[in-house]
Amino acid sequence: MSRKKTEPFEDALKKLEKIVEKLERGSLPLEEAMEAFAEGVRLVKYCNQKLDEAENRVQTLVKSGPEGWTTTAFETPPTAEQNRTSREPERPAAGDDTELT
């Protein structure tokens, strides 16, 4: 398969979606399925790389007082799993007679 040196992200994603559809149908012969799977892995790595590059370029404007606007690096919000593992159970304040249910 010939491919451009820098394939647009959207094109790579569409190709990946088509590969997934073919593999999910389960009608490909084993050898073709293995080739499709290998191409899918390559596309996943490529798309992840492009997303990482985009994330690194994204910057958020932050108001910095009278000096005006500055930029800071974009940070992804924590996932639900990260939120669950980082929270401690709430405890009543000292002297609080409220019962926890």
100 in a domain, yes or no? no
The domain total for the chain is 1
Report the C-alpha gap between 95 and 68 in whole angstroms: 46
Give burial (CB, 10 Å; 0-12/13-18/19+) of 59: exposed
Range of the domain at 57: 9-86
78 in a domain, yes or no? yes
Overall pTM > 0.75: no
92 in a domain, yes or no? no
22 in a domain, yes or no? yes
28 in a domain, yes or no? yes
**What are the pLDDT digits (tens) for 86-100?**
555 555 555 555 555
41 in a domain, yes or no? yes
**What are the pLDDT digits (tens) for 31-72?**
999 999 999 999 999 999 999 888 777 644 444 556 666 666
